[in-house]
Structure 1
Amino acid sequence: MAAYTPYARQDRRFLRGEPVSVRALFYSLAASGAEAFVTVDIHKTVSLQWFPGPAVNVDPAPAFAEKLRPLLEGREKVYVIAPDQGAVGRAKSLAERLGAPFDYLEKVRDRVTGEIVLRPKLVDVSGAAVVLIDDIVSTGGTMAKAARMLYEQGAEVVIAAATHGLFAGEALEKMRKAGIVHILVADTVKAPEDVDVASVGRLAADAVKSVLEAVAGYESEG
């Protein structure tokens, strides 16, 4: 069980000579005797195909939704938005539990200035409470830039939710300066004291239990 899977973003070779680190990690775990693998919100679920055994990815959305409902209560316009198309699955899962629409930010070039801007592909965020959702916050740059753009487009309030809060350097300060009013993470890595934390312990425990039962059943049949 790895609540946070290290090297998950190194899921392909970006430069010549680089390893595909997450694949090497899974091969090493299997070689060490691991028969199954459970993690929480891995960067790309397709990476789990490299583990040569049962592998389960735990969705933290139920835990996030429980924390977010009181914050969003009474708001008429709520959107859950991913910072890019790759994270739209996370936005969809959380939005379904909150009963809210979801979208993702697309990069659009301003035809006058030539500047690249981020904006929701489908929805109008004017007057809305927006929940930005992603798997990892490291430097905070992506969340901060997205929040600034959303405010420029009329968002009333921006909340950030990310499963794994790494918060490198001045990430928290950067996000708060961008106007993010609430920061929520899961308890997969130790979080700063002034960050809200949603527990995924029960979700992870249920996943581990189901995998152990499946492995035990397979071995008894064999």
Structure 2
Amino acid sequence: MHDRLKVFCGSANRPLARRICDYLGIELGKINIGRFPDNEISLKIEEDVRGRDVFLVQPTCPPVNEHIMELLIMIDSFRRASAQRITAVVPYYGYARQDRKDEGRVPITAKLVANLITEAGCDRVLCLDLHAAQIQGFFDVPVDHLYAVPVLHHYIEKLELDPDELAIVSPDEGRIKLALKLQRRLGGTLAVIDKRRSSATETDQVSIIGGPVDGKIAIMFDDMISTGGSVVGAARVLHASGARDIRVCVTHGLFCNNALERMRQSPLVQIVATDSVPLPNAENHEGFLTQLSVAPLLGEAIKRIHRNESVSFLFNTKISER
């Protein structure tokens, strides 16, 4: 495996790429990424990749445009360097919110970015917790869509919480299926927050459907936190309904602007996020913010893709950290 497999990364999340390589037992590939005087991206691959199976780790997290452009230039570079196969490992897929035309004169940016990645020369895509599962169909190349649920589920299991005191909460109607699946595994009651969007950046949390949550440990599961507005609103509704302990587990912790400070001032007692994107100022929020690594999950997927083995095996499997 080590003779043909190569893992490289852009500047978006080098620590995650290193952890993936540690799991695989290989060295991170050498690549030089810089800037020209006018701030255009310059790039050079510093080792031979002819005939290799190449995996490029690059979440398109903020600054989104910079990281997407880096990914496209990397793909083009490796295609021109005669790599046998190029797989884009995109733990966080940016521009995913606009995945359909829900009103007139708006773009479908999720499809646009998929077209760009495909046309750049990518042969396969590996991603984690897409904002909407149908985005897989926007690509004209194979897509392996993983979920961070096994990682988050394993962490909650280790807390050994009493199922009778547990309430699994979906922050909106779009995550009900995931919340139901977790409620079946962890036990407890199931509740859904009635969320109504008033604008692209503002939402209102009106009430709780299901439950009850009175006196219970409420755990919300979501795919991403950006400004934290929805999570804070949901936490306040849960607190008003009597929840005694409120936590949130999220795959992508973007935490834009002052999101973490905003959430610390809410009834939330803990945020659990993966390292799919770099967590800003995580050291300043020790005890409140817990980081879990998805490197073993992504590393195992990379190994299985390289060996032409099943990846669906990972959906319900607990991958232990090395």
Q: Please indicate the TM-score interval, normalised by the length of the shorter structure.
A: 0.7 to 0.9
C-alpha distance after superposition, 1:44-91 (max 9, x if no partner): 111110111221221111111222234453463111111111012332
Using structure 2 for the length normalisation, give the TM-score.
0.60
Structure 2 vs 1, CA of residues 107 and 190 (structure 1 numbering), >3 Å: closer, same or farther?
Answer: closer
> 2:251 matched to which residue of 1?
163
Structure 2 vs 1, CA of residues 75 and 103 (structure 1 numbering), >3 Å: closer, same or farther?
Answer: closer
Structure 2 vs 1, CA of residues 122 and 67 (structure 1 numbering), >3 Å: closer, same or farther?
Answer: same
Q: Does 1:147 align with 2:235?
A: yes
> 1:220 matched to which residue of 2?
none
> 1:207 matched to which residue of 2?
301
Structure 2 vs 1, CA of residues 90 and 12 (structure 1 numbering), >3 Å: closer, same or farther?
Answer: same
Question: In the alignment, is the contact (CA less than 8 A) between 1:61 and 1:97 conserved in 2?
Answer: no
SS in 2 for 1:188: coil
1:127 to partner: Cα distance = 0.6
Question: In the alignment, is the contact (CA less than 8 A) between 1:81 and 1:105 conserved in 2?
Answer: yes
SS in 1 for 2:302: helix
Structure 2: gaps spanning 5 or more residues? 1-88, 197-203, 310-322
Which of the numbers 128, 132, 151 marks the counterpart of 1:63?
151
In structure 2, how many angstroms separate the alpha carbons of the residues matched to 1:104 and 1:210?
A: 36
Which structure has the bigger radius of gyration?
Answer: 2
In structure 2, how many angstroms separate the alpha carbons of the residues matched to 1:177 and 1:72?
A: 27
1:129 to partner: Cα distance = 0.3
> 2:106 matched to which residue of 1?
18
In structure 2, how many angstroms separate the alpha carbons of the residues matched to 1:80 and 1:184?
A: 15
Q: Does 1:83 align with 2:177?
A: no
SS in 2 for 1:121: strand
The structure with higher relative contact order (CA 8 Å, sep 6+) is: 1
Written as runs of structure 1 = structure 2, the 5 A alignment for 1:63-142 is: 63-71=151-159, 73-74=161-162, 76-107=164-195, 118-142=206-230
Using structure 1 for the length normalisation, give the TM-score.
0.84
Deviates more, 1:17-26 or 1:36-45: 17-26
In structure 2, how many angstroms separate the alpha carbons of the residues matched to 1:10 and 1:210?
A: 31
Which 4+ runs in 1 deviate beyond 6 A? none
1:95 to partner: Cα distance = 3.0
Say how many residue pairs are matched: 208
1:146 to partner: Cα distance = 0.2
> 1:218 matched to which residue of 2?
none
In structure 1, how many angstroms separate the alpha carbons of the residues matched to 2:205 and 2:274?
A: 29
Which of the numbers 96, 100, 104 marks the counterpart of 1:8?
96
Q: Structure 2 counterpart of 1:140, which letter?
A: G
The share of aligned pairs that are identical, in percent, is: 28
